[in-house]
Structure 1
Amino acid sequence: MLLVVGIAGAILCVVAAGIIGVLLHSRAGLVAQLGDARARIAQLESDLDAALRPPPPTNSAERAVRRVIRTASKVRSHGIAGLIQSTVEDLQSWASDDERADILNMAASDGTVTLFFSDIEDSTPLNDRLGDATWVRVLAAHDRVLRTQIERYRGQVVKTAGDGFMVAFRDAEAACRAALGIQRDLPREVTLRRYGPILVRIGIHTGQVVARDGDYFGRNVAMAARVANLAHGGEILASDAVREALDDDAALTLVERDAVELKGLAGEHVVWEIHPPA
């Protein structure tokens, strides 16, 4: 009897080992088949992409059509986009041939954008007085305040440099309200109260600009930067173009300053102080 049990047990072990071997072999086969299937799918996708990719344009008319199609595709994906060129003559270059050009989603329907420049007044002496370690904490607190208001009013940070911000807004009122929120919240921030006062100057201008590689260029960028340079810490200054772009019901207080000359820009320019509603 014991002999029979032992033989049966041996047979079961052999059968179990065989089943495990078959399963392992099957699993390895399935993994290999899955890998082959993925490779075939990738090849099919590559072939389909190659088949659908149009040949290079051979003349200026075809290039123009391609620009229109590419721009329409971006508008479908991202909404009304782009920062149109600073002159009507440049309008045909809105969708640049450079595939790296980032047509940002900040333009109004007429192609204008509001630019906001800010920096900390006397930042170099502050850095020297506080030391680098503390200055880094101050900058982090400053950045949090700015980014919170920028995000709240749906602005887009174009670039930063140290304590300086360049931001695009879809409309002038959003830029002004973000600026007012920043000036209100900076003195409330715990770190900035401890090491402050940290005074920020802000300049705002509305106009058409050139968009390239996710950055902005042109006369109106220079105008916004020059307006910011006129401001003192705690002030918000705006160009006359901002005042014109604001709706009558914007409920903001604007105080006119004397006309000034701006470096590199011809003529005299009116600037306005932006204050909360009275």
Structure 2
Amino acid sequence: MSEPERITLAEVARRAGVKAATLRRWVQTGVVPGPTDGVWTAAAISHARLVARMRERGHSLAQLREATAQGRLAFGYIEDLLPPATSDHTLEEAARETGLEPALIERIYSTVGFNAHALRQISADDLQFLRYCAAVLAAGFPLVAFLQMSRVYGQALAQVADAEVRLFHLYVHEPLMRDGVPGLEMAEEMEGLARELLPLASPMMDHVHRRFLQHFVEQDVIGHLESDFGDSEPLDLGRLRVAIAFADLAGYTRLTEEEGEEEAVSAVERFVENVEHTLPDDARVIKTIGDEVMVVGSDPAALTDWAVGFQTLVAERPLPRIGIHYGETLYRDGDYYGREVNLAARVAARSAGGEVIVTRSVVEQAGSHLEFELIGEVRLKGFKEPTELFLARVADDD
């Protein structure tokens, strides 16, 4: 086994951006853990850098000493696993290496969600990422589609990374602090766990991605084939004709007040899981906002069948309320926009707990096993013309 690298206090101070005397004082006063057996560990070096940044932000040494004692600065596990990127290339060099115009590189970075500072720190890994981008465009993938796909990747993976960090903090870091584990020991323990988990993240995500990709390719083929069989007029580029459902929990705010946030959030989690697990194959949850779920599917009849059946499965409060509309939407960055989406949201807002309210465009596509009671022409908020609304339910056998 090779000897660990022996880094001097002066070198650690340089990496932290402070004077050696300052770092020595921090070690002596317990603000920063010193070397172990004469060796500065990655955790200790990271701790010193973090203390330096916190001092720049105005935090006192007393505050930082207390945070160190509590283990709140124990983040060194990330040092070896995800070392900070080094600025190896300028924007102009990256443009020459990849064949991409500097303005396009800036646009790609902005679309993915990287800030402007990232353009001044283009590492070797960043350069390889840009080579991949150039290869996709060289293969003939349209730029407008590529930028939308990049934005979806950025938003989705930012959410993944944010969740990974927050869940690790909540369920690993916090329990260790509560158990009184010393800060440096805590950082090293988290490093060991993260070292085992991090290599598993990419293959897990790759598997999930491929499974979903296979599913949606199949659904897209079916959807195109069925649309060709129909009498609908062709749509403009970037537009899709879909069924849109909005569903939420009636009385959610009251539940939060009466039962507390934990119970209310649990109710929302159960609701969203039940929606996801029961949707027809052609439909998926596009997004959730609080207790509201937006669902889009290619088949309005199947989505209405699901909604009516879903309501029959719910017996306890708060009851869901669901509104469905069918129309032409603008598809952008993995989401759906336009008048018809807004109309679907307004329809849902007019429904009560346990109800499924739909528009005439949905009724015209539905099967005979459902019946629709005309509520009347209703003027929905934000719309000049009234909209016919119907209450959907299972048809009587009579």
Q: Could you tell me whether the CA contact under 8 Å between 1:149 and 1:181 is conserved in 2?
A: no
| 1:219-274 per-position Cα deviation (integer Å, ceiling 9, x unaligned) | 00011011111101111000111112224xx3101101121111121211111000
Matches within 5 A, 1:58-207: 78-79=220-221, 91-94=236-239, 111-150=240-279, 152-187=280-315, 193=316, 197-207=317-327
Higher relative contact order (CA 8 A, sep 6+): 1
1:210 aligns with 2:295: no
* Distance in 2, Cα, partners of 1:51 & 1:125: 50
Distance 1:175 1:123, change over 3 A: same
Residues 51 and 235 (structure 1), Cα distance of their counterparts in 2 relative to 1, 3 Å cut: closer
Task: Give the counterpart letter for 2:378 in structure 1.
Answer: V
Q: Is the CA contact 2:238–2:330 (under 8 Å) kept in the aligned structure 1?
A: no
In 1, Cα distance between equivalents of 2:267 and 2:140 = 54
1:168-192: CA deviation from partner (whole Å, max 9, x where unpaired): 01111111111112211121xxxxx
- SS of the residue aligned with 1:267? coil
How far apart, in 1, do the equivalents of 2:391 and 2:299 lie? 18
Q: Which whole-Å CA distance do the structure 1 matches of 2:136 and 2:255 have between them?
A: 60
Residues 56 and 210 of structure 1: CA distance in aligned 2, closer, same or farther (over 3 Å)? closer
Aligned twin of 1:266:
384
The one-letter code of the counterpart of 1:174 is A
Q: Which amino acid aligns with 1:146?
A: V
Contact 2:324 2:358 in 1 (8 A): yes
Q: What corresponds to 2:374 in structure 1? A: 256
1:8-30 Cα offsets, whole Å, 9 max, x none, are xxxxxxxxxxxxxxxxxxxxxxx
Matched position secondary structure for 2:325: strand
Paired with 1:199 and 1:211, the residues of 2 have a C-alpha distance of 31
C-alpha displacement of 1:140: 2.1
1:114 counterpart SS class: strand
> What's the CA shift string for 1:55-94, capped at 9, x where partnerless?
999xxxxx89x9xxxxxxx979953679xxxxx8971445
Q: 1:235 aligns with which of 344, 355, 370?
A: 355
Judging by fraction of residues, say which structure has more strand.
1
Q: Is the 8 A contact 2:370 2:394 kept in 1?
A: yes
Aligned to 1:23: none
Instruction: Return the alpha-carbon distance in structure 2 between the equivalents of residues 142 and 134 of structure 1.
Output: 12
| Matched length | 189
Letter in 1 for 2:300: A
Asked if structure 2 preserves the Cα contact closer than 8 Å seen for 1:145 and 1:186, the reply is no
Give the C-alpha shift of residue 132 in structure 1. Answer: 1.7
How much has 1:162 moved relative to structure 2? 1.4
What is the alpha-carbon distance in structure 2 between the residues aligned to residue 153 and residue 56 of structure 1?
28
Contact 2:238 2:331 in 1 (8 A): no
Residues 89 and 255 of structure 1: CA distance in aligned 2, closer, same or farther (over 3 Å): closer
TM-score (normalizing by structure 2)? 0.42
Q: Sort the Cα spacing of 1:131 and 1:91 in 2 relative to 1 into closer, same or farther, 3 A.
A: same
Structure 2 gap segments, 5+ residues each:
1-127, 147-215, 225-232
| Post-superposition offset of 1:52 | 9.7
Q: TM-score, normalised by structure 1?
A: 0.59
- Alpha-carbon deviation of 1:155? 1.2
Letter in 2 for 1:244: E
Do the aligned partners of 2:355 and 2:391 also contact (CA within 8 Å) in 1? Answer: yes
Cα distance, 1:52–1:208 mapped onto 2, change above 3 Å: closer
SS at 1:265 equivalent: coil
Separation (CA, whole Å) in 1 of partners of 2:299 and 2:345? 17
CA change 1:78–1:154 in 2 (3 A) is: closer
Q: 2:138: which partner in 1?
A: 53
CA contact (8 A) 1:258 1:270 kept: yes
**Paired amino acid for 1:53:** A
